[in-house]
Amino acid sequence: MNSNEMVTIDRDHNLHPYTSPTTPPACVPIVGAEGVRLTMADGRELIDGMASWWSAIHGYNHPALNHALLQQVSKVSHVMFGGITHPQAVTLSQKLVDITPHKLTKVFFSDSGSVAVEVALKMAIQYWSALGQGSKNRLLTIKNGYHGDTFGAMSVCDPKTGMHHLFSDMVVQQYFAEAPQCRNDAEWDSSDISSLEGLLSKNKEKIAAVILEPIVQGAGGMRFYAPEYLRQVRQLCDAFDVLLILDEIATGFGRTGKLFACEHADVVPDIMCLGKAITGGYLSFAATMTSQKICDGIGKDGGVFMHGPTFMGNPLACSVANASIDLLLGYELERMIADIESGLCEGLAPCKYLDTVKDVRVFGAIGVVEMKNQVDLAAVQPEFVKRGVWVRPFGRLVYVMPPFIISRCDLDFLTKQIVEVVSSL
């Protein structure tokens, strides 16, 4: 099949994410990937600025990840997790328990980030129900959040700026505090917490948990907020007897320079969601972690946790996740991410002086250029491809989170293309 045929059949039959089902723009045909480069069907290469939406942290076609997958295929590719376990799941849960904050000793595997969030919400609601407090069945979150596309996850995404406003009448109505305004690098302003504090104190009898993305609000605006905010949220949750769920699906596994973003605030959640980079971007897989206390609550009087995906604990995914975590633990992570951070800061700095740009911000291996106006994706995407980079703007945001293994030379090339394209808008 040649490149044109592929694009035509794709356009005729495949529906793509957040894209018109009737007049979709042509997709870029990718036939290979190696390191930080994607290979197009016509042989051109693109330096990947997106790491396949935060996931491909080690780059593509990594020998250690390939090996993990191949050696597992001939043992057992999949087996149900109900009543059965296997070495890769056991090894992975032990690793996750070892590298996440100390209280999190229980792991529930699932198949995607959104499902990991659904599982977290159910854990929190089931916990309170088992303790005889069934009225604690709502969630409190902050505006500008994003937690996935399934109905429970949608209910805690930003109701206005989120991608799901079409469904707002169908999702459970949750509590939304104002998003924190204090940036991660700015001085803490104690008034920032008052909106969340007010909602929590007024509605604590109805709230099962607060759910947040720690420090980095991703798809809901690519905003970075003060670690002190997260510390205060933890204290308030304790004071008002409400659980804290941290969604580390985008930030987990090193993206911000720590293994998990909650480490910037030294905060331990009651429930933590992991996904995306858990398999180094190889397979769809996720985990929801929690503590003995939450499990004791749910298990009270013989209670069972009410969730069980068919592909739970998939051995291929567990195997590649084990190899990915081993690679990650072998990196000098803080230095590696600090190098990317300084490359992004220097490379994107010229954007700050453009009239069309509202803000330029960098945190860890995440670089964001926020424009004053909506970016015309249909015009800008082909321009990036023509220049040999894969950058996919969203709304007013042109942003990158490249694989951790990107060289300084490739990073400079990537940021130079962003500066030039943004300058032309």
Ligand X SMILES: Cc1ncc(COP(=O)(O)O)c(C=O)c1O
What is the smallest separation between the CB atom of 53 and ligand X, expressed in angstroms? 6
User: Does position 219 bind ligand X by CB under 6 A?
Assistant: yes
Q: Does 119 bind ligand X (CB under 6 A)?
A: no
Q: Cβ-closest residue to ligand X?
A: 113
The 3-state DSSP class for residue 142 equals strand
Among 48, 197, 213, 370, binds ligand X (CB under 6 A): 213
Rounded distance, CA 390 to CA 385, Å?
6
* Nearer CB in complex with ligand X: 127/146: 146
> Is there a catalytic annotation at residue 18?
yes
Rounded to 5°, the CA angle 88-285-217 comes to: 135
Select the span of 76-84, 112-120, 235-243, 404-412 touching ligand X (CB under 6 A): 112-120
276 is catalytic: yes
Residue 197 touching ligand X (CB under 6 A) = no
Residue 143 binding ligand X, by CB under 6 A: no
Q: Of 276, 282, 399, 410, which is the active-site residue?
A: 276
Active site residue 353: no
Size of the site for ligand X (CB under 6 A): 14
Query: Which CB atom, from 278 or from 406, has the smaller least distance to ligand X?
Result: 278
Q: Return the number of other C-beta atoms located less than 10 Å from residue 266's C-beta.
A: 11
Catalytic residue among 146, 229, 282, 399: 146
Give CA–CA dist 423/425, Å, rounded. Answer: 6
What is the rounded distance in angstroms from the CA atom of residue 133 to the CA atom of residue 123? Answer: 14
CB of 26 to ligand X, least distance (A): 23
Nearer to ligand X, 233 or 250 (CB): 250
CA 317 to each of CA 58, 106, 195, 322, 327: distance values in angstroms, whole numbers, following the listed order: 16, 18, 40, 9, 15
Range 237-296, binding ligand X (CB under 6 A): 247, 249-250, 275
- Looking at the Cβ atoms of 283 and 357, the one nearer to ligand X is 283
> Can you tell me the distance from the alpha carbon of 378 to that of 383, in angstroms, rounded to the nearest whole number?
9
Q: Burial of 7 by CB count in 10 Å (0-12 exposed, 13-18 middle, 19+ buried)?
A: middle
Q: Is 276 helix (H, G, I), strand (E, B) or coil?
A: helix
d(CA 123, CA 306): 9
Please identify which of the residues 18, 169, 353, 355 carries the catalytic annotation. Answer: 18
**Which is the catalytic residue, given 111, 158, 192, 247?**
247
Nearer to ligand X, 55 or 72 (CB): 55
Spatial neighbors of 262 by CB under 8 A, at least 6 apart, are 101, 214, 215, 230, 246, 248, 268, 269, 272
Whether the Cβ atoms of residue 349 and residue 120 lie closer than 8 Å to each other: no
Q: Which stretch binds ligand X (CB under 6 A): 98-106, 110-118, 232-240, 298-306?
A: 110-118
By CB under 6 A, the residues from 345 to 374 that bind ligand X are none
Among 49, 113, 347, 393, binds ligand X (CB under 6 A): 113
CB of 75 to ligand X, least distance (A): 26
> Between residues 262 and 351, which has the closer beta carbon with respect to ligand X?
262
107 and 177 in contact (C-beta within 8 Å)? no
Task: Please tell me whether residue 194 adopts helix, strand or coil conformation.
Answer: helix
Binding site for ligand X (CB under 6 A): 112-114, 117, 146-148, 213, 218-219, 247, 249-250, 275
Residues that are catalytic: 18, 146, 247, 276
